[in-house]
Structure 1
């Protein structure tokens, strides 16, 4: 996938007082659902309704700022350890499949070990590996966070205000090279503001801003991003924000800031979600298996097609199932995603140095239940 076709992160956010923050957890779960939906249907308007990637980077930014209350070396080691094993596990299948289909890598295969640049691949496996731009961008933001947070704490308003400048420079002043370096610059500049909005939430900067100022700035960013997307459809082939870095940057910033401000200023927490046990459990699974869902969902969408093709050979299925429906394929893909969560999700537990679980979020058995025959 090219530098401008963006689509889905990982770890859950923990509030200061301990326990899960269901507001952030729910946002992350919705973002993952939107990512899968976008890849299934290709709706250009999906990014306008809910810019998942901007939300994911903002949530990751606030979590990173919280983590950096510990020594930076320890935090970086922990973040990298949690990210790479699920990536390696998934990548072993993708790389092996591409090798079987005639791919022969060069030295760039090192990016399949540490994705500081886009890993190489062939056209046969492109739909699977094209999502790796997110892991690469997330990893670079993690590595850059200690100096970024140091700078942010010294001039928070100025740094946050200038965070959209890089994407403006790349759009109107200097065009970066069309290679791994240039692609990385585009992605970092596109989502820098969202990452720093996460910093601003954690550091209490958002809470101190007046609501009117936040509303005006957010509307201005949304207005400019939306106008740019619609006015440059001929250049980018439509108004899909994933193809337009400048529009994506401004729209995501304008969308994410009120969401983070609502949490910082008004304390939205969605604690009542616990009353809906099945929905609450589903949100827990999405957050505990976010990397698994993100990495494997494209493979699930690919496998859904030949699986449905085989259903045409069964007369009962052909007669009674909507095999031609895109929604049916979407449903089959979610069944396959669930299977991947069961089969592969435990790698996230191992990476986090937790006991591996088949399904996260299960309520522990009471002593009486454990003693029962």
Structure 2
């Protein structure tokens, strides 16, 4: 939410992707709200895609899309097992047998474990925005997971020149945002919105883009793009600092949220909103660095497990102990609880990935499921930006179904589950109609489906 609508700096907009029209002052219902119950924006993501690369060349590959691995998805790993003999000879020292057939050892391969986490996070985004279940954030803290994945992919990308990496990330993030923003801004202008100079944040969202209450349900989710953009810009310096002192920097990344929560709440403006969001998910982003650099692998398993469970326990305790302050135990309304719960949860996921060498390679045996995960990752930005509009449009569409006697008799038109299903159908339409923008941003041939 834009800073000029905030009331309580301890309740920041969109901690998670939970939609809350008044995140600083407790929940509030809007007359234009189409949902049967209060909606909240939870941390869901999109998260954008990260590290989309060309199939085999590990150096000349194009830069990754925000928050998602190589967008071509399953298309890239598939051709790789074949080059075990012919291309192996052309690549010099690589043997024609042995490790060569394993696509997971190739830089251009995809990590299906990360892909699956990202896909589940996006599904959880839509689920929360449909039903508003407060416990969703504890079952699967999507935003913390998405920032953790983005952090490790950013560390991987920064093996190349930092300026090129940052420019490439901006190129992949901003065009889909601009395309989506044209429709939202025009709709708000039609509904009596008159922007000031702050409209520049609709060009580069370094601060919360402004908007009116009519379109708030659509633009409220942009806090995530703003936070991700700042992390991308800060990553070269953060990664340099992390590699100087990995463990102290990782532990110290929880200090900013403690300071904001107990010492100084920050300025009551766009900068203050950005500080809260950055502080909430800083540990998860740095944790991505730790995973990429092998720091988690070198730590003692007992220490990692105990530290993770302690962080989760503190975050859960703080959420339930302060229900009276925030009006709910929902993590997305409580930045400190969100920070610690996500920190412990994501650390366990990252450590398990490294320690047990989880790769979800078995996913390829289930072609439809593997294909679905591929589409979710290649169209993560599209799903994140358009899913709320899909849920909004589902309401008047269902209203029209009441006029058809057969639909009224046989379909559960008054069920949120039915709206959930209709919302996914509309999301699929947006993937086909609008997803090509992600291909254009990645300098690829536009396709209806990746």
TM-score, normalised to structure 1, is 0.95
Whether contact under 8 Å (1:4, 1:244) holds in the other structure is no
User: What residue in structure 2 maps to residue 345 of structure 1?
Assistant: 435
Aligned to 1:130, what secondary structure does the other structure show?
helix
1:110 alignment partner, one of 200, 203, 223: 200
Q: State whether structure 2 residue 155 is matched by structure 1 residue 99.
A: no
For residues 114-133 of structure 1, what are the structure 2 equivalents within 5 Å? 114-133=204-223
Q: State whether structure 2 residue 137 is matched by structure 1 residue 54.
A: no
Whether contact under 8 Å (1:4, 1:245) holds in the other structure is no
User: What residue in structure 1 maps to residue 161 of structure 2?
Assistant: 71
Q: Tell me the distance in 2 between the aligned counterparts of 1:43 and 1:172.
A: 28
User: What residue in structure 2 maps to residue 10 of structure 1?
Assistant: 48
User: What residue in structure 1 maps to residue 294 of structure 2?
Assistant: 204
1:208 positional shift: 0.3
Whether contact under 8 Å (2:13, 2:223) holds in the other structure is no
1:274 alignment partner, one of 344, 364, 380: 364
For residues 323-342 of structure 1, what are the structure 2 equivalents within 5 Å? 323-342=413-432
1:227-252, CA deviations, whole angstroms, 9 ceiling, x for partnerless residues?
00000001011100000000000000
User: What residue in structure 2 maps to residue 191 of structure 1?
Assistant: 281
User: What residue in structure 2 maps to residue 307 of structure 1?
Assistant: 397
For residues 239-278 of structure 1, what are the structure 2 equivalents within 5 Å? 239-278=329-368
Q: State whether structure 2 residue 277 is matched by structure 1 residue 157.
A: no
Show structure 2 runs of 5+ residues with no match: 7-11, 18-44, 50-67, 71-103
User: What residue in structure 2 maps to residue 367 of structure 1?
Assistant: none
Q: Tell me the distance in 1 between the aligned counterparts of 2:283 and 2:388.
A: 27
1:177 positional shift: 2.1
Q: Tell me the distance in 2 between the aligned counterparts of 1:179 and 1:346.
A: 35
Whether contact under 8 Å (1:22, 1:273) holds in the other structure is yes
CA-atom RMSD in angstroms = 0.9
User: What residue in structure 2 maps to residue 364 of structure 1?
Assistant: none
Whether contact under 8 Å (1:13, 1:59) holds in the other structure is no
Aligned to 1:140, what secondary structure does the other structure show?
helix
Q: Tell me the distance in 2 between the aligned counterparts of 1:23 and 1:353.
A: 26
Aligned to 2:329, what secondary structure does the other structure show?
coil
Q: Tell me the distance in 2 between the aligned counterparts of 1:313 and 1:248.
A: 44
Q: Tell me the distance in 1 between the aligned counterparts of 2:160 and 2:356.
A: 27
Whether contact under 8 Å (1:118, 1:133) holds in the other structure is yes
1:42-88, CA deviations, whole angstroms, 9 ceiling, x for partnerless residues?
00000000000000000000000000000000000000000000000
Whether contact under 8 Å (1:55, 1:256) holds in the other structure is yes
1:16 positional shift: 6.4
Aligned to 2:325, what secondary structure does the other structure show?
helix
1:178-205, CA deviations, whole angstroms, 9 ceiling, x for partnerless residues?
2111100000000000000100000111
Q: How many residues align?
A: 360
- Higher alpha-carbon deviation: 261-270 or 130-139: 261-270
User: What residue in structure 1 maps to residue 308 of structure 2?
Assistant: 218
Show structure 1 runs of 5+ residues with no match: 361-373
Whether contact under 8 Å (1:160, 1:197) holds in the other structure is yes
